[in-house]
Amino acid sequence: MSDDLPVQRYRLLLLRHAKSAWPDGVADINRPLGERGRKAAPLMGGYMARHALVPDLALVSTAKRAQETWTLVAAALPPGITVENTRAIYEVEAAQILSVLRATDPAIRTLLIVGHNPGMEDLAHELVGSGDADLRMRMADKFPTAALAVLEFEATGWRELLSGGARLARFVTPRSLD
């Protein structure tokens, strides 16, 4: 840890894009949300707003389904959230997403990533080392579309985020909100 930066609580919100459609002849990156996804994303945004899970920065995959998920989630959140649309979290493994996370400015205390499996789920499993056993078991069982994992850790910055170093504070799915 660096001596010149204070230890602070950081919160990572991992949101898998909502359920997508599979139209014929459409490239993967251009697949839109399906009807179920268009219903689930606002539910998750409402949950985030009610529980003060408001990011300082949202990193959103450039895939259409992730972009549409973010638009529907953001409609329930306060305005002014900084958004970076990035291909760096599309079709990548957990290690690449972790590299992006570790490069985040330490002034960002709550970071949202709207991305894809298997990278999102693998990253959550890699980072979580503690938290409610039932939540951890639910997350290990399935990380469905539009699921939200809330991870917390204390450090002087994102670069210190290590395997097993985060606590699973919440794991929410659209089905659990119905």
- In angstroms, the CA 23 to CA 129 distance is 39
Classify residue 67: in a domain, yes or no. Answer: yes
Tens digit of each residue's pLDDT, the chain (178 residues): 445 778 999 999 999 999 999 999 999 999 999 999 999 999 999 999 999 999 999 999 999 999 999 999 999 999 999 999 999 999 999 999 999 999 999 999 999 999 999 999 999 999 999 999 999 999 999 999 999 999 999 999 999 999 999 999 999 999 999 7
Classify residue 38: in a domain, yes or no. Answer: yes
Classify residue 130: in a domain, yes or no. Answer: yes
Classify residue 95: in a domain, yes or no. Answer: yes
- CATH number of the domain bearing residue 77: 3.40.50.1240
> How many domains, in total, are found in the chain?
1
- In angstroms, the CA 129 to CA 51 distance is 23
Classify residue 34: in a domain, yes or no. Answer: yes
Classify residue 141: in a domain, yes or no. Answer: yes
Give the global pTM. 0.95
Q: Are 84 and 59 in contact (CB under 8 A)?
A: yes
Q: Which of these, 159, 157, 170, lies nearest to 124 by C-alpha position?
A: 170
Strands 166-172 and 110-115: unpaired
Classify residue 88: in a domain, yes or no. Answer: yes
Strands 110-115 and 8-16: parallel
Strands 110-115 and 82-86: unpaired
Phi, psi (rounded to 5 degrees) for 40: -75, -40
pLDDT tens for residues 23-53? 999 999 999 999 999 999 999 999 999 999 9
- Residue 172: domain span: 8-177
The tokens for 88 are 């760096």
The tokens for 86 are 């990035």
Q: What is the pLDDT of residue 3?
A: 57
Classify residue 1: in a domain, yes or no. Answer: no
For residue 23, say if its preceding peptide bond is cis, omega within 30 degrees of 0.
no
Angle at 81 between CA 79 and CA 10, to 5 degrees: 130
